[in-house]
Amino acid sequence: MLEDKDKAPSFTDPETLKCPYEAYKYLLAEKPVYHDEKSGLHILSRYQDVRDMLRSPLLSTANVTEKLRQTVAPARANRIEQLFEEKGWARERNLPNYEGSEHKEIRDIFEQFLRAGKIKEHDEWIRDWCYTVVDEFVAQGKCEMLSQFAEKISIGVLCHLVDADLDKIPLMRASMHAIEAGLSFTQDEDAEIANAEIEIEAQHYFMGLIREKRENPDGGFLSAIVNTKLPSGRKLSDRQLLTQIQFDLFMAGADTTTKAMASGVAMMIENPEVYARLQVDPDKYLRTFVEEVLRLEPPASGTFRTTVEDVTLHGTTIPAGAVVTPRVAAANLDERHFACPAKLDLDRSNAATHMTFGSGVHACIGAPLARRELYWGFKALLNRVKDIRLAEGEAVEYVPSLVFRSLAHLNVTFTPCV
């Protein structure tokens, strides 16, 4: 346990970000409102505080991503934005960076296609796609679980929803990785420029899809986003559409699901008793397993807000205009809410109350889709292979990131089911 000021964690430290659990223990026990002086962030860690503050009007999401970029590296942020303007389209606010009626009218368009009842219409396709992906590598007896399994499933599902060609999965993957790297705040400027170029390439592909749906609307998901008039009478601009497709769908949707799916496979390997129970009775345990994966290794470790006025919590005052991160990954380990929080428990009755999908008006609208992808991805794997284990020399290693929780790679071997 971290005990003194000299040992207080900084979430700019790559080693802390690789394995943040000791830092979370310290925050949960000693510093429920913690000012990380190196990053400038104010971190909330306890479950009830995170839940309450995600619902509170005292914290705002308006333009918070850009404010975070300007806080960490302002000069670089301006140069990168100029590159987007010159070669593609300047990045707009993604959906969580809107507030009030402006947020609601955009969110309503997405919700009509991403609510649980609507996702059921795609369930058969999602199931078949998951089995197709697994069947492509099952005979090999080995797999790199991020690229061959988790990414291919989650990106393929989003391509299906927006009518993108499945052969564009490599471009979608590269774009997602580029956006993620830009939000990790750990890359140098040359790498950030290279990743911006990849994002811009994807922008041009998506703009082709957008123009096609304008000319030939078909009532599908992308067509609705492109052509639906907002209550104000306007339609979403090109910049808004590109940001919401690349960031809100593929980054906040496919990429995060990828991370959770890969973490779930690692957790099967690291918890052989859990894996055995899943193999014996997946119908009984798989839904709880999905929730425990999301709780223990949330793909987004925290979200970001700015204070609209001074906020006092646990005797600590956070000044107006400060950047606050409700750390959902810490909240999910709060023993005040979860008994034995570090344990992966298939009998946990409140597993689905984790904070991974957020809370309040900005809660993740893609949660129903993510849960179905995870369910069918794990189900296909359990049905097609057994004895999953790490490949020789492989280790479970996470990439340091301020925002995300992602395995660097996951090479496994297994025995195909007869």
**What is the structure's pLDDT at 251?**
85
Q: Taking the complete model, does pTM exceed 0.75, yes or no?
A: yes
pLDDT at residue 402 above 60? yes
Higher pLDDT among residues 66 and 415, named by residue = 415
Task: Assign residue 233 the CATH number of its domain.
Answer: 1.10.630.10
3-class DSSP state for residue 415? strand
- pLDDT > 90: what percent of the chain? 73
Task: Give the number of residues written for the chain.
Answer: 418
pLDDT for 1 beyond 50? no
Instruction: Quote the CA–CA distance of 275 and 267 in Å, as a whole number.
Output: 8
* Residues facing 279 on adjacent strands: none
Q: What is the pLDDT of residue 3?
A: 46
Q: Find the domain containing 109 and state its range.
A: 5-416
Residue 97 has pLDDT above 90, yes or no: no
pLDDT tens digits along 248-302: 899 888 989 999 999 999 999 999 999 999 999 999 999 999 999 999 999 999 9
Question: Cα-flanking dihedrals φ and ψ of residue 38, to 5°?
Answer: -70, -40
E strand spans, 149-228: none
Angle between helices 74-87 and 64-72 (to 10 degrees): 120
Q: 15-52 pLDDT, tens per residue? A: 899 999 999 999 999 999 999 988 889 999 999 999 99
- Output the pLDDT for position 2: 46
Higher confidence at residue 270 or residue 180?
270
Each residue's pLDDT tens digit, 311-329: 999 999 999 999 999 999 9
Q: What is the mean pLDDT of residues 95-124?
A: 90
Distance of alpha carbon 273 from alpha carbon 159, whole angstroms: 36
- At 7, is the pLDDT very low, low, confident or very high (cuts 50, 70, 90)? low
Nearest to 387 by CA among 418, 357, 346, 361: 418
Q: Does residue 138 surpass a pLDDT of 60? A: yes
Task: Share the mean pLDDT of the chain.
Answer: 91
* Count: domains in the chain: 1
Calculate what percentage of the chain has a pLDDT beyond 70.
95
